[in-house]
Amino acid sequence: MLVIVGAVLLSTYVRAADSRAQAGLNPSEVLVVQQPIAAGTTVEQMASLVKLQTLPQGAVVSGSVKDLSGFAGKVAAVALVPGEQLLSARLVEPQSLATPNQASVPKGMEEITLKLDPERVLGGNLKAGDTVGIFISYNAGVAPGTSDNPATKLQFHKVLVTKVGTSTGTSTQSNGATQQAQAPASGGQIFVTLAQSGTDATKTVHAVEFGKIYLSKENADSNTAPVDTLHKDQVLK
């Protein structure tokens, strides 16, 4: 009987000692990754992939997350592995994962790249996300059976620029922010990638192959009303 009582008292003492030890460590609850989480996973998707666990304060990493409710709409910036604490710094806005100096392509659009001399692309003063107007010129007749009568038209408005680069590579700032392409000092060309519908892209490619192109930078206030084709004999009128 005394042995049983002694065992019970010892067990109670040990549990009390453990409780006192844990209290001295100031335990905190944090979210810990339970299953692999890929970069780009939304907070809503990762809710079932993390679990709230109690850790000693000394083991809690600065910036650890206890509750996902304040991170709605954010995504994992990097891949996360089981066992690591979920950190607020690794939950970012979706757009921050976009490739530097590259804009997302609208659904259903085609991407085409033009190689143009600097003077035809504002001296390189363009960046991804800008919108441009496309001027198309033909030196010969613009309709079947016409004579040699050069023509120019502002054919397209608000064309999205998705990427800009030069023959020496795209220029971006060290922090990854988008920067304008730097035009070569001389003789170089600039690569501009545009997003257009299949029909419009076909017309742009035709102009590159058989005519000439100039780009203009447009803004929210640019006039997008249709412009008539201008022929040589109308320029000085």
* DSSP-derived secondary structure for 160-218: EEEEEEETT---B-TTS-B-PPPPPSSS--EEEEEEE-HHHHHHHHHHHHHSEEEEEEE
pLDDT of residue 5: 45
Residue extent(s) of CATH 3.90.1210.10 domains in the chain: 26-97
pTM over 0.85: no
Cβ contacts of residue 159 below 8 Å, gap of 6+?
131, 132, 133, 134, 194, 195, 196, 200
pLDDT of residue 3: 47
In terms of Cα–Cα distance, which of 105, 115, 122 is closest to 160? 105
pLDDT of residue 166: 77
**DSSP per-residue letters across 108-151:** T-EEEEEEE-GGGTGGG---TT-EEEEEEEESS-SSTT--S--E
Has domain 26-97 been given CATH number 3.90.1210.10? Answer: yes
pLDDT of residue 23: 52
pLDDT of residue 232: 80
pLDDT of residue 1: 54
Cα separation of 88 and 196, whole Å? 38
Q: Mean pLDDT in runs of 10 for the chain (237 residues)?
A: 49 54 71 91 91 88 88 86 88 74 82 94 89 91 66 93 74 39 59 94 96 92 87 80
